[in-house]
């Protein structure tokens, strides 16, 4: 199975820009790509994984997936595959992209979209 590819993100630039400019909101549907169905799927606790009901928890999940020595692509793939395991099928690449960009504002260097796009080419 493939993994994260920034070029597959269907989140529009203006939606990404608005998300990045806004403070982090508890409402998980404020993350571009997360609608009512994705919210419902993430809110279900599954074996070995707790329910994710807020944007803070989703960001936390992204950060916990970053293991020592892991490359940026491996980290993004881990989040992409985690969303896939949670049955998030639509906008998966967009969700990963948005969360990675938001985290990069708080932790500069954790994500470089240009480097990811170059690797995908």
Question: In whole angstroms, what is the distance from residue 45 CA to residue 53 CA?
Answer: 10
Token digits of residue 98: 């948005």
Quick: pLDDT tens for 97-113: 999 999 999 999 999 87
Question: In whole angstroms, what is the distance from residue 7 CA to residue 85 CA?
Answer: 21
Q: What is the value of pTM for the model shown?
A: 0.91
Cβ contact 93:101 at 8 Å: no
**Which residues have C-beta within 8 Å of that of residue 62, sequence separation ≥ 6?**
79, 96, 99, 100, 103
Quick: pLDDT tens for 41-93: 999 998 889 999 999 999 999 999 999 999 999 999 999 999 999 999 989 99
| 54-36-32 Cα angle (round to 5) | 65
């Amino acid at each position: 199975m493939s993994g994260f590819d920034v070029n597959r993100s269907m989140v529009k630039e203006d939606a990404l820009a608005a998300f990045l400019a806004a403070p982090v909101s508890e409402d998980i549907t404020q993350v571009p790509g997360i609608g009512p169905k994705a919210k419902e799927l993430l809110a279900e606790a599954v074996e070995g994984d707790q329910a994710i009901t807020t944007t803070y928890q989703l960001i936390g999940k992204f950060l916990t997936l970053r293991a020592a020595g892991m490359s940026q692509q491996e980290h993004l793939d881990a989040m992409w595959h985690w969303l896939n395991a949670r049955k998030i099928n639509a906008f998966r690449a967009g969700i990963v992209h948005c969360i990675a960009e938001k985290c990069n504002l708080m932790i500069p260097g954790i994500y470089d979209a240009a480097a990811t796009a170059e690797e995908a080419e």
